[in-house]
Structure 1
Amino acid sequence: MSRDDWTFCPWDGSQSLSRQDWPALDAGKLTLDAPDVHLQVFRESRLAARASLWTGFQADGPATGMIGHYAAESLEAGRALLQAACRRLRDAGCARVIGPIDGSTWKPYRLVSDAGSEAPFLLEPINPHAWNQHFLESGFGVLASYHSALSVNPAPDPKMPAVRARLSASGVSTRAADPARLDAELAAIHELALDSFSRNLLYSPLSRGDFLALYRPLLSRLPAGFTRIAEHQGQAVGFAFAAPDLLRPQNDTLIVKTVGVRRGRLYAGLGRLLAEELHELARRARLPRVIHALMHDDNVSAKTSAHTSTVIRRYALYSRLLPE
């Protein structure tokens, strides 16, 4: 199919952004995520593919553009869109492009690359497997790999009493977040997250206002106790949050979504302790299944989880260099 078979146009506020078979995207989300342009591909007046583009991300290495809000009905439409997106990003001065990522790693990113046999769970990306091929056949390669892992009836970790005693002796304590002080709790978590995630791949800072707007709706709906905070000398030094899997009708699964700990030898083991507290909450709530979600294959929590869990899903993030 030739390039002339497609109609390319930036979104002007009038065209549809989504289709029933695609991840939802509306004008509000588009405004919040603030791409430089939202590009659409039509064939015979039918929306065939869409993506948003961001420029100007600067990390170690070349100037980088990002492709997010991605959806396409076919390989041909996806390739046409990705080729057009790469041309626009190259013309904007980018030497590398990464996708799919909705502007930053604080927002949705990655594609499910191996769905396994488990049904999709709350808070993970959902996409047709073919979208991976769209990127691969458009000159992209895998930049980073991730996975989610399932533990069934995880036993208490026998090392954690000693870890808790050591941390307690140093003045570190843990508690449930106070829902009556949600904004204050989130502000403390935000400051800590900026520190604990600063070495992550593609890290970029997020303002406190944007952080609250992103996480307040989610955390306000979680049952009491499923957001944990660790403190030392009056400052937050660790956090973890989890959510029951509301997509699973059996109501038997807890999803451990995010764990962050301040760097430093004093806090060694704190992330595992917070995860263990979430496991204990799952046992009390009679949730026998615990999913540790969306872990980078090489991070510490993934290596710890591997001893007691089974990988149920894999994800990929793609990149390619752009010609000069």
Structure 2
Amino acid sequence: METLQTSQQTVHAPVSGGVSAVTVIPVTTKKQLAQFIDFPHDLYKDDKNYVPELFIAQRDLLSPSKHPFYEHSSLQAFLAFKGNKIVGRIAAIDNKNHNAFNKKNDGFFGFFESINDIEVSQALFQTATTWLKERKLSTMIGPVNFSTNETCGLLIEGFDGPPVVMMPYNPPYYSKLIEQAGLTENVSLLAYKIIPQYMNDRPYRIMEVLQERLARRNITFRKVNLKKFDEEVKKIQAIYNSAWDKNLGFVPMTDKEFEYLAKDLKMILDPEFCIIAEENGKAIGFALAIPDLNQILIKIKRGRLLPTGIFKLLLGKKKINAVRVLTLGVLEPYRKLGIDGCLYGELMKTGRAKNVAYGEGSWILETNELMNAAMLGINADSYRKYRIYEKEI
């Protein structure tokens, strides 16, 4: 049987009276892993905005034999109990590629979920801190599930609806639990809601003029070619690993990691929403918007595709009426030429043709003045805020 352990510690949090003592154990078996994945379903059972993660996807993400992250780094998942009842979970993460690339000594926590109980959250953070310190890491940053290439951030504003695809969701009380554990703000992230009828469509209106000017430099735009998917993935990976190298906490994705992500995205990808900019056939920028799969996942009980979830997924895809602008980037030598405006324009053009009700642009660093100005310039609404915390350990 595959195990997940890298630590065998068991933590008993000191609680007055001893009757309700919190016990934290490492996840080491398939049964415990299933309990780790399923805990949020029970925690959020009365929350109409909760979207369950697909069980099979979470299982693979947390299994060393399934995900390429574990070829260079490590993660230890933990479960918190009061008596025989699971009351919380957390994962401690040692991302060696992040530290090598950024010349840092950071540790991370992710997959945090807890009942509204400071004793539980303190025990979980204490356990994660101990695991990170054992590996001689000097900070704890999170919530980050592996790195900023994956789901990250804690929702702190905008609890009025379900999250869009690949964005986090949590109860409002989590920020208090995290701050009571001594963590403070590292950075905040913004999500923008874009409603076509209220948009300033200037990028769309000037797109043709920009494209004609760029064509004189042999810069053109096209949709992704799914028949040459593997070749397209390599082109996009080269842009991704270069265009975002100065972003907060960025770490280049390995070939296997990017291929893993691309394989997942291909299942929901609409090629009309994946635009590549090229100069003489060389990819120099791209934009990707993906359908908001959460509109279907919210209806799939406990994230199980069987017996009926698979049909909801297959039949519901055509009814999705929203997209998330997941990423848009241009290689540094080609910035300030209007390429990004054309990429936005192409996404707008496609969205209008497909009668998309709304889109979300996320996430954008709160300190990224250029991107925030661009969002506000098209009358997008900054409607959700997320936060990443940190603490010296």
Tell me the TM-score normalized by structure 1: 0.91
Which secondary structure state, in structure 2, belongs to the residue aligned with residue 36 of structure 1?
Answer: strand
Instruction: Return the offset for 1:246.
Output: 4.1
One of 94, 100, 121 as aligned partner of 2:143: 100
Stretch of structure 1 that moved more, 215-224 or 198-207: 215-224
Q: CA separation of 1:49/1:229 partners in 2, compared to 1, >3 Å: closer, same or farther? A: same
**1:49 partnered with 2:88:** yes
Q: Does 1:6 align with 2:22?
A: yes
Query: Alpha-carbon deviation of 1:282?
Result: 0.7
Q: What is the letter of the counterpart of residue 189 of structure 1?
A: I
Which digits, 9 at most, give the CA deviation of each residue in 1:281-306, with x for residues without a partner? 11111124232122112223222001
> Is 1:123 aligned to 2:194, yes or no?
no
> 1:118 touches 1:312 (CA, 8 Å); kept in 2?
no
Q: Does structure 1 conserve the Cα–Cα contact (< 8 Å) formed by 2:286 and 2:343?
A: yes
- Worse-matched range after superposition: 197-206 or 20-29: 20-29
Give the superposition deviation at 1:21. 3.6
Between 15-24 and 139-148, report the one with greater CA deviation.
Answer: 15-24
Q: Please tell me whether residue 275 in structure 1 is matched to residue 291 in structure 2.
A: no
Deviations 1:250-303 (A, max 9, x none): 844332111111112566321222011101111111124232122112223222
Q: What residue in structure 2 maps to residue 256 of structure 1?
A: 325
Structure 2 counterpart SS, 1:82: helix
Name the stretch that deviates more: 59-68 or 164-173: 59-68
1:29 matched to 2:61? The reply is: yes
Unpaired runs of at least 5, structure 2: 1-12, 44-51, 297-318
Question: Which residue is 2:236 aligned to?
Answer: 189
Code of the residue aligned with 1:312 in structure 2: it is Y
For 2:79 and 2:331, the matched residues in 1 are separated by 42
Deviations 1:75-98 (A, max 9, x none): 321221012211221232111110
Query: Residue 82 of structure 1 is aligned with which of 125, 139, 150?
Result: 125
TM-aligned CA distance change 1:62 to 1:184, over 3 Å? closer
Residue 337 of structure 2 corresponds to residue 305 of structure 1: no
Contact 2:159/2:172 (<8 A) preserved = no
Q: 1:298 to 1:270 in 2, by over 3 A?
A: farther
Contact 1:227 1:241 in 2 (8 A): yes
SS in 1 for 2:141: strand
Contact 2:152–2:167 (8 Å) recurs in 1: no
CA distance in 2 between partners of 1:121 and 1:27 (Å): 21
Tell me the TM-score normalised to structure 2 length: 0.76
Q: Aligned partners of 2:176 and 2:265: how far apart in 1? A: 32
Write out aligned runs for 1:70-219 (5 A): 70-76=112-118, 77-153=120-196, 154-157=199-202, 158-219=205-266
* Residue number in structure 1 paired with 2:276: 229
Q: Structure 1: how far apart are the matches of 2:157 and 2:274? A: 29
Letter in 2 for 1:38: A
Matched residue SS, 2:191: strand
The code of the aligned residue for 1:95 comes to S
Looking at structure 2, the residues matched to 117 and 28 of structure 1 have their Cα atoms a distance apart, in angstroms, of 30
From the two aligned structures, give the one with the greater helix fraction: 2
> What is the percent sequence identity of the aligned residues?
21
User: 3-state DSSP class of the match of 1:166?
Assistant: helix
Gaps of 5+ in 1: none
CA deviation vs aligned residue, 1:48-83 (integer Å, no higher than 9, x gap)? 221221224426575110111221123321221012
For residues 57-68 of structure 1, the aligned pairs below 5 Å read 57-58=98-99, 62-68=104-110
- CA distance in 2 between partners of 1:125 and 1:210 (Å): 20
